[in-house]
Structure 1
Amino acid sequence: MAIKASFGADEWKLILGSPLLAGMAVTLAEPNGLWGVFKESLASGRALLSARSDADAGEIAKAIVADMESSEGRGEARESLRAELAGKTPADAKQNILAMLTRVAQIVDAKAPTEAPAFKTWLSHVAETVAEASSEGGFMGFGGTQVSAAEKATLTDVAKALSAA
């Protein structure tokens, strides 16, 4: 896609991983056991793929989806995230993720200003989808809160990171 050419290789790797970052920030806010993490991971993937058919998804989101459909694109996204987050505590990883999302917003604002608002809205939607994927505090998937206070706070943090550019 033409929009991808607007960014340097390292910038694109960071942008490519940004939907994963947005979802991981929410998951790290309040991990809800293996099943909850699994449901949130699936939600992140579904939110990513929904951009393919979403008329409101911008060119950047569609370019990310196109790259993520290849094993090379998925590998690039995973490797860049692994390099940034390996060995970090969940709290430190969350702070790193928010800093990386701020950097993504700055890059997109500078290099694709007309695409930036739609892209940042889409990233926020990815985070919200992950937050809503698994109830917190219930028993075996029953009861609990759809979006916990910690997740709501993280959604606010993600929104701030994306608008901080």
Structure 2
Amino acid sequence: MASKSSFTPDEWARIVASPMVAGMAITAAEPSGLWSLLKESMSSGWALLEAKKDANANPLVKAVADDIADPATRDAVRHSFQERFKGSEFSAAKQKAIDELRAVAGILDTKAPEDAPAFKAWLKHVAQEAAEAGREGGFLGFGGVAVSDAEKATLAEIDGALSGGGTPAGIAET
């Protein structure tokens, strides 16, 4: 089973940030009101808390959920996140997030092949939870739909990015 020591510090920061990146992709797919934005943004944090409490969680998911409490890890995640998204227009954030999830999938496939399927499934779950967190198209929380067409399309893109994997920056193909 993979653990923090299976990855370089940069790779680990990207893996730990990946639940937030999945939520960000959904939020950027169709920005809505402040309340929906807050709910969608908070959903990845809730997913980490749930994983931390879940005795049956995949060990790598649990390691991510546990390690996010470490201030050094949070700083590394913040730095990694800023490095990848700094200066991005909001309209480009969704594609950058999808690309980052594709890179994370490649890291997982290369460094943690036994844990990769369960971790990727968890990231898809995090994205689905973010999509369902806020209603889209309503007024003041009334009406609208639970998951918009744009969010459904983004969920499909996330699925493709995580399923297809890829070669992340810094890892050579063999």
Q: TM-score range by the shorter chain?
A: over 0.9
Q: CA deviation at 1:2?
A: 6.1
Alpha carbons 1:56, 1:118 under 8 Å: kept: no
Q: CA deviation at 1:90?
A: 2.0
Alpha carbons 2:109, 2:116 under 8 Å: kept: yes
Q: Which residue of 1 aligns with 2:89?
A: 89
Query: How far does the alpha carbon of each residue in 1:39-83 deviate from its partner, in whole angstroms, 9 at most, with x for none?
Result: 111212111211112244212211111111123222221221112
1:80-159 to structure 2, matched below 5 A, reads 80-159=80-159
Q: Distance in 2 between matches of 1:161 and 1:56?
A: 25
Q: CA deviation at 1:117?
A: 0.5
Alpha carbons 2:23, 2:41 under 8 Å: kept: yes
The one-letter amino acid paired with 2:132 is E
Query: How far does the alpha carbon of each residue in 1:84-117 deviate from its partner, in whole angstroms, 9 at most, with x for none?
Result: 1111112322111111111111111111111011
Aligned residues: 165
Q: Distance in 1 between matches of 2:148 and 2:56?
A: 28
The one-letter amino acid paired with 1:106 is G
Kindly, what percent of the aligned residue pairs are identical? 51
Q: Distance in 2 between matches of 1:92 and 1:32?
A: 16
Report which stretch shifted further, 115-124 or 45-54. 45-54
The one-letter amino acid paired with 1:155 is L
1:1-165 to structure 2, matched below 5 A, reads 3-165=3-165
Alpha carbons 2:40, 2:133 under 8 Å: kept: yes
SS at 1:46's partner residue? helix
Q: Distance in 1 between matches of 2:16 and 2:43?
A: 17
The one-letter amino acid paired with 1:14 is R
Q: Distance in 2 between matches of 1:23 and 1:9?
A: 22
Structure 1 runs, 4 residues or longer, greater than 6 Å off: none
SS at 2:133's partner residue? coil
Q: Distance in 1 between matches of 2:82 and 2:114?
A: 30
Report which stretch shifted further, 87-96 or 123-132. 87-96
Alpha-carbon RMSD: 1.5
